[in-house]
Amino acid sequence: MSKATIIKGEVNKGTASDGTSSDGNPGNREDSKGTISKRTIGKGTIFRVAGPVIEAKNIDAKMYDVVIVGKERLMGEVIRIQEELTTIQVYEDTSNIKPGEDVEVTGMPLSVELGPGLLSSIYDGIQRPLPVLRDQMGDFIKRGVQAPGLDHKKKWEFKAAAKKGDEVKGGAVIGTVEEMPGIVHKIMVKPDVHGKIESIKSGSFTVDEAVGELEDGTELKLFHQWPVRIPRPVAKKLMPETPLVTGQRVIDGLFPVAKGGVAAIPGPFGAGKTVSQQQLAKWSDADIIVYIGCGERGNEMTEVLTEFPHLTDPKSGKPLMNRTVLIANTSNMPVAAREASVYTGITIAEYFRDMGYDVALMADSTSRWAEAMREISSRLEEMPGEEGYPAYLSTRLAEFYERAGRVIPLGTDKAGSVTVIGAVSPPGGDFSEPVTQGTLRVIKTFWALDAKLAQRRHFPSINWLTSYSLYQDTLSGWFNKEIAPDWSDRVRQMKTLLQEEEKLLEIVQLVGSDALPEKQQITLETARLIREFFLQQNAYHEVDTYCDLKKAYRTMGLILQFGQKAQEALGKGADIQRILGIKTKDRIGEVKFDKNHDALLNLLEAEMRKEFDAVGAE
């Protein structure tokens, strides 16, 4: 649980009468020294219990205040206030809770601790560190257990970057901590704090110890808290003009996503959503990865939690967990915590963005998040919308995805970004259902997974006819400059061939491929090479799991070279069967699994020229 509600293992004891800061910001309830203020906890009693939703009487609370419920001291959050009744969603199982038990108000919204120690951590939906809880009580977490999000005993080596007399404001970097080898954690002034530094020092500190102080008495520490439902402010939003390179050919080649962009992966059960998201988390060129397992099956999250610590970062050669934060909230965990988990994840992502890092956030899956909202809404007896989802579903989806972006953070000129990639699990693969449609209104890259492709063992099962990327034109300049001037032309040719293939396959089903004109037979064969040797990728193969852009570019070129030379040979009167019998084209697939791909590509290009020269000489 976060420090917003727990200090040294005790419930926070409260603040001023209205719970606001001197600047009136409801998200800031700390006193001038940076510690939680002394609000007297209001006590009330439980009036009604309906699953995770509880109604309480006689408590003085504000919307989204955190409360402590019942004898087992379960954590909850105020979500509705109606005259003397206050509605609370509880983040834990409410079994054995009954009317008449006490409800205590902490005076703080649900907040997370932001500071050194986030990276390599594994949290639940409300930022309780799961390894710490497991060490305390084994594999089954008991109710009412609380633990701070950061380690408050560990000392960090702080190097001051600011000095006495400096005027600082929100977002300013006052120093650094090397959180992980090669990863610098910038210690920033909280966004709503400003003033002149009275004192600051380098040295070894815990997150609770002050490293400096402002003239007004505000203490500067290695961490601060931030309410999860309030987006962190920025200085300026920028256009997304750089691609998030994922190492997945079908994405980087045909449907790229920009850093700071938003993408969705919808697909039915078994189509490969989770594996696709894990591939993006493993191989994308983001500086920091935040992976939210929101309502997924326990065995899938177990695979993530056991596999990630053993993965090696291809950029640094160090463990991938060094730059990863995992949030695990499986389908059998309380629904209210599932609803909060995406906010916890996006807030942590925004924090690293404010340091100038590029962050990729994977939400798997937003459908389970929407189902949690639907369950809570029904217990609140709200008017249901389409398929029982709350009427505000689209608004919540938009609010979440719109926290992505490439920005200039407060207090610095270095840009940072949050790229949000959400998996959607439409029942039966029906993309017309509300969550998919609500997502489509706000995202710009759509990777539609196809059950039929998955059944044919074509992975990733991204359907190239229904998927799209609205970043294609924006990013083409980067690809043409950084990879090759004709990158966009090759991508356009491949998409055209795949679209033509779809039309021709309808005819083939009626009359057979031999009845097609010879030019169209070559089109079909070239499209087959694109599908099998470029779009298909083996996530579990040591080499093929990741494909760099240069390799993808050359593979595209070799396939298109076959199509071009085949059409030229046909125009010169070559026999179609001899053209389709070119052996080199079927060896293009070897490139995917060869570490020394440049040498193999050079060999295949030379052999293909020889074979076509031989065909033309006949």
Compute CA distances 42 → 15, 28, 60, 104, 424, whole Å: 11, 19, 6, 6, 41
Q: Is the pLDDT of residue 419 over 90?
A: yes
- Do 384 and 502 belong together in one domain? no
Query: How far out from the chain centre does Cα 246 lie?
Result: 13
- 326: which strand partners? 122, 291
* Structural domain count, the chain: 4
**Domain harbouring 175, CATH code:** 2.40.50.100
Q: Tell me how far apart the terminal alpha carbons of the chain are, to the nearest angstrom.
A: 77
Least confident of 17-31, 235-249, 379-393, 439-453: 17-31
**Calpha distance 531→463 (Å, rounded):** 11
Judging by DSSP bridges, how do beta strands 195-200 and 210-214 pair with one another?
antiparallel
Least confident of 361-365, 487-491, 498-502, 561-565: 361-365
Q: Is the pLDDT of residue 441 over 50?
A: yes
- Do 437 and 560 belong together in one domain? no
Q: Is residue 127 part of a domain?
A: no
Task: Reduce the secondary structure of 437-471 to three states and give it as a string.
Answer: HHHHCCCCEECCECHHHHHCCCCCCECCCCCEECC
What was the pLDDT predicted at 33?
A: 36
**Domain harbouring 385, CATH code:** 3.40.50.300
Neighbours of 20 (CB within 10 A): 16
- Do 308 and 440 belong together in one domain? yes
**Calpha distance 464→450 (Å, rounded):** 10
Instruction: Tell me what the mean pLDDT of segment 157-171 comes to.
Output: 94
- Do 300 and 420 belong together in one domain? yes
**Calpha distance 169→69 (Å, rounded):** 37
Mean pLDDT of the chain: 88
CB 290 within 8 A of CB 357: no
- Do 446 and 374 belong together in one domain? yes
Neighbours of 455 (CB within 10 A): 11
Cβ within 8 Å of residue 521, ≥6 positions away: 513, 576, 580
Q: Helices marked H in 334-458 — which ranges?
A: 335-353, 366-379, 393-401, 434-440, 451-455
Q: How confident is the model at residue 618 (pLDDT cuts 50, 70, 90)?
A: low
Q: Is the pLDDT of residue 263 over 50?
A: yes
Out of 109, 126, 143, a domain closes at 109
Q: Is residue 142 part of a domain?
A: no
Q: How confident is the model at residue 22 (pLDDT cuts 50, 70, 90)?
A: very low
CB 302 within 8 A of CB 483: no
- 421: which strand partners? 263, 362
Determine the length of the chain: 618
- Do 216 and 266 belong together in one domain? no
Q: Is residue 532 part of a domain?
A: yes
CB 41 within 8 A of CB 105: yes
**The tokens 């039929």 sit on which residue?**
452
Q: Per 3-state DSSP, what percentage of the chain is helix, strand, and coil (rounded to 5)?
A: 35, 25, 40
Q: What is the SS3 assignment for 194?
A: coil
Cis peptide before 467 (omega within 30 of 0): no
- Do 319 and 377 belong together in one domain? yes
What was the pLDDT predicted at 617?
A: 62
Instruction: Tell me what the mean pLDDT of segment 299-308 comes to.
Output: 73
- Do 303 and 244 belong together in one domain? yes
What was the pLDDT predicted at 328?
A: 87
Q: Is residue 275 part of a domain?
A: yes
pLDDT digit string, tens, across residues 375-392: 889 988 889 999 999 999
Cβ within 8 Å of residue 107, ≥6 positions away: 12, 14, 15, 19, 29, 37, 39, 41, 65
Out of 416, 440, 469, a domain closes at 469
Q: Is residue 174 part of a domain?
A: yes
Judging by DSSP bridges, how do beta strands 416-424 and 262-266 pair with one another?
parallel
pLDDT digit string, tens, across residues 176-210: 999 998 889 999 999 999 999 999 999 999 999 99
Q: Is residue 1 part of a domain?
A: no
Compute CA distances 101 → 56, 85, 94, whole Å: 9, 15, 12
What was the pLDDT predicted at 289?
A: 94
What was the pLDDT predicted at 543?
A: 93
- Do 15 and 35 belong together in one domain? yes
- Do 444 and 493 belong together in one domain? no
Q: How confident is the model at residue 374 (pLDDT cuts 50, 70, 90)?
A: very high
Least confident of 25-39, 113-127, 546-560: 25-39
**The tokens 């959180």 sit on which residue?**
179
pLDDT digit string, tens, across residues 578-598: 999 999 999 999 999 998 899
What was the pLDDT predicted at 21?
A: 37
List the one residue out of 238, 398, 422 whose CA is nearest residue 345. Answer: 422
Q: Is residue 380 part of a domain?
A: yes
Cis peptide before 116 (omega within 30 of 0): no
What was the pLDDT predicted at 41?
A: 53
Q: How confident is the model at residue 3 (pLDDT cuts 50, 70, 90)?
A: very low
Q: Which of 25-29, 299-303, 518-522 is modeled with the greatest confidence?
A: 518-522
Q: Is the pLDDT of residue 360 over 90?
A: yes
Q: What is the SS3 assignment for 266?
A: strand
Neighbours of 545 (CB within 10 A): 16
Q: Is residue 122 part of a domain?
A: no
- Do 222 and 307 belong together in one domain? no
What's the order of all strands across the beta sheet hosting 195-200? 167-168, 195-200, 210-214, 219-221
**Calpha distance 584→561 (Å, rounded):** 11
What was the pLDDT predicted at 7?
A: 32
pLDDT digit string, tens, across residues 48-104: 999 889 999 988 889 999 999 999 899 999 999 988 899 999 998 888 899 999 999
Q: How confident is the model at residue 28 (pLDDT cuts 50, 70, 90)?
A: very low
Query: Domain range for residue 178?
Result: 156-227
Instruction: Tell me what the mean pLDDT of segment 214-238 comes to.
Output: 95
DSSP 532: I
Least confident of 17-21, 356-360, 488-492, 548-552: 17-21
Which helix (H) or strand (E) element contains residue 78? strand 74-82
**Calpha distance 76→2 (Å, rounded):** 12
Instruction: Tell me what the mean pLDDT of segment 248-266 comes to.
Output: 96
List the one residue out of 267, 430, 290, 340 whose CA is nearest residue 112. Answer: 340
**Domain harbouring 577, CATH code:** 1.10.1140.10
Report the half-sphere exposure of 255 (CA within 13 A, side-chain side): 24
**Domain harbouring 89, CATH code:** 2.40.30.20
Token readout for 306 is 């056991």
- Do 314 and 368 belong together in one domain? yes
CB 20 within 8 A of CB 62: no
Looking at per-residue pLDDT, the higher value among 309 and 59 belongs to 59
- 294: which strand partners? 329
Cβ within 8 Å of residue 64, ≥6 positions away: 77, 78, 79, 109, 110, 227, 229
